[in-house]
Every structure is written in structure tokens, then in C-alpha cells.
Amino acid sequence: MYQTQASSQDLWTDPQKTGDLLKKISRLQYDVTTISEHCKKFADLHALLDLAKEEDDEGVFASCCKDLEALSAALGKLYVESLLSGEADHCNCFLEIHAGAGGTESQDWVAMLSRMYSRWAQARGFTTDIVDETVGEGAGFKSVQLKISGLRAYGWLKTENGVHRLVRISPFDANARRHTSFASVWTYPETDDEIEIKIEEKDLQVDTFRSSGAGGQHVNKTDSAVRITHLPTGIVVSCQVDRSQHRNRALALSMLKSRLYEAELRKKQDELDEQNKQKTDIAWGNQIRSYVLQPYQLVKDMRTGVEIGNAAGVLDGNIEPFLEQALVHQLMNVSN
């Protein structure tokens, strides 16, 4: 159907409609190609197993079993991806991390979380850009805003909203005492041409300021950073990623549209949760995951019960098991 629409001469007179359709076709082609590749791998393994049985070749049989386990894991991931069918799941993702109680400790924790999500995105072939940051006084950041771009980036990360808790021996404590730090994570989708959000210029208060940085000869000496306040809702966004004020303003407007859209999605979800009598509070103070580095190593998700003993691996970006189970858990709560 979409291919037929794409071949229509009338379509190309509307660039926005054309772009929306081509994006949908690209996503569907990715899904079809992935499923076809898995089907071919299964057929090849089935033939190899028959051959190993005929030849009584234990080596080939063992190799096939190993490949089947890998294929089973890949199919499991494909199943989880099939759950990403929400209205905005296909979008890129804005991810904000804010330091909680704990001063320098929590600011350093923000930097660790930022690295964790960036490494996860890199492993999936996504790109990560720092949109805005507020540098901490002693180390790390008071807050960081990332833009993670890739197919279904928001769908994968939408369950990360909440408070993340870290327990470790403090590298900033001369007495080497154990400290607990908190940081909040908030995700929202980047709106694209498929999602229409109208913003009136009269509803905006636009302020410019000098970008923060480490200083030196490369410091930006112009007021290129932009802060936009949406007066009806009080939502504030800022961007200082570029030396151009115009480009920062354009990206800040994109972020504002995304925040307004996410607020509408959250409103709809709250209404659905109320109907299901299973309202989930994602506000500050709701701990979703605990990362313990001392006196033992364990990362545990409080919603799903998923535990991983290799905390260093998790902080290096291996968060896929948590994301997968959180998505399944969310779907089960909606369907019950």
C-alpha cells in the first residue's frame, strides 16, 4: 500500500507528506528485512541439523545448537521491538539527567549515567549529542540533556523515567566511606513531521545567555545559548550545543515541541492508568533502579526484579536486559 502511494505522481507535490511516507516505508523495510534474515538463518540451521544427524557429526551438531541459542536471543529482541508500537516509539529521544541529593557525589553520578546511555546508544548504532549541560562545582554535572538519534530510540528508552540510586565508596571522600547518590532520568520523544505541534510566538519568552564551558581560548564569548519559556505551561528548555544562536533557537524549539507532546502523551497515559487502577508515579523520589558497587556488585531493577551482578558492564552500557523486561512489564500492566 505504501509503495503504491510512493509511486503516485501527486505525492511528490507535498514534501512533508512525502517525507512522512518514506520514513514509514523505511521502518517497514527494516522490519521485513530483519524477519527475512532470521527466517533464512533458521532454515539454514534446520538443514545443517539434518545433515549432522545423518553424518552423526557431533561437532556440527554442537555448533548448530550454539547458533540456535543466538538466534533464539535475537528473536527475543525482535519480539520486544514488536512492542514498540506506540504513537511516538519510532522517534528519536531527548534524555535529561538531573543530580539529586548528594552534592559532588550525585553530580559525578550524572556523568556516569550520561556515559552509560551514550555507550548503550553507540552499541546499537545510534548517535548521541549533548544538547545542554550544567557543569558541577566539584565534578560531573548538575544536569545533562542528550539527544539520542536512531530507529525507535524513544521506544527503547521511554521506561527509564525515574530515580536511579548509586551506592559506592566515594572517590571524593578522604576517609573512603560509602555514599549513596541519586539522579533522576526523564525521557521524551523528538517530534517529527508525522507529529504536529502548534506553538504561538506570543506564548514564548526567549532569553539568550553565554554558553558555559571550561574557558580558555575556545570559550564562546557571545550570547549564543538560548533559553525558551513556554508561558502557558511554564516549560523551560535551553540549548547551547552550537555557536550559532539561530541553530540553538531552532533546536530549543524542537525540544519544546517534544516536551509539549510528551506532556500530552503523559496525560493520556495517566487517564489510562486511572482507568486500569494501576497509576504509576514517575515523579522524583520513585526509585526504579539501584546500582550497588560496594560492599558487593549488583544492579537491580525495582519494577521487574531483573538483577545483574556485573555492575561495571551495566555502567558500560549493557542495559538491554533492563529495557527489554521493563517494556514487557509495562505491556502486561496495560493489558491486565
Distance CA 247, CA 255 (A): 12
Whether 195 maps to a domain, the answer reads no
Would the pLDDT of 213 be above 70? no
Whether 7 maps to a domain, the answer reads yes
What residues make up the domain containing 249?
201-268
**Of all helices (H) and strands (E), which one includes residue 134?**
strand 127-135
Dihedral sign for Cα atoms in the order 297, 301, 305, 310: negative
Cell numbers describing residue 237: 528548555
Q: Categorize the per-residue pLDDT at 150 as very low, low, confident or very high, splitting at 50, 70 and 90.
A: very high
- What would you report as the CA-atom Rg of the chain, rounded to the nearest whole angstrom? 23
* One domain, residues 11 and 78: yes
* One domain, residues 40 and 12: yes
Structure confidence by residue, pLDDT tens digits, 123-138: 999 999 999 999 988 8
Task: List the end-to-end C-alpha distance of the chain, in Å, as a whole number.
Answer: 34
* One domain, residues 174 and 100: yes
Neighbours of 310 (CB within 10 A): 12
110-114, 117-121, 140-144, 218-222 — which is least confidently predicted? 218-222
295 upstream amide cis, omega within 30 of 0: yes
Q: CATH no. for residue 35?
A: 1.20.58.410
35-44, 169-178, 246-255, 274-283 — which is least confidently predicted? 274-283
Percent of the chain predicted with pLDDT > 90: 39
What one-letter code names the amino acid at 60? V
Would the pLDDT of 9 be above 80? no
Q: Which residue has the higher pLDDT, 13 or 42?
A: 42
pLDDT at res. 80: 77
Would the pLDDT of 209 be above 90? no
Which SS3 state, helix, strand or coil, does residue 160 take?
helix
* One domain, residues 169 and 316: yes
Yes or no: say if 143 and 99 are a contact pair by the CB < 8 Å rule. yes
Whether 275 maps to a domain, the answer reads no
* One domain, residues 13 and 157: no
Yes or no: say if 225 and 251 are a contact pair by the CB < 8 Å rule. no
Yes or no: say if 74 and 127 are a contact pair by the CB < 8 Å rule. no
Mean pLDDT in the chain?
Answer: 82
Domain count, the chain: 3
Instruction: Give the ranges where the chain is alpha helix by DSSP (H).
Output: 2-6, 15-55, 58-82, 104-123, 153-157, 245-276, 311-315, 320-335
pLDDT at res. 2: 46
Q: Categorize the per-residue pLDDT at 63 as very low, low, confident or very high, splitting at 50, 70 and 90.
A: confident
Whether 154 maps to a domain, the answer reads yes
pLDDT at res. 219: 44
Dihedral sign for Cα atoms in the order 114, 117, 122, 127: negative
* One domain, residues 101 and 185: yes
Dihedral sign for Cα atoms in the order 139, 144, 147, 150: positive
Would the pLDDT of 321 be above 80? yes
Q: Is the pTM of this model over 0.75?
A: no
Whether 104 maps to a domain, the answer reads yes
* One domain, residues 186 and 286: yes
Q: Categorize the per-residue pLDDT at 265 as very low, low, confident or very high, splitting at 50, 70 and 90.
A: confident
Whether 273 maps to a domain, the answer reads no
Would the pLDDT of 19 be above 50? yes
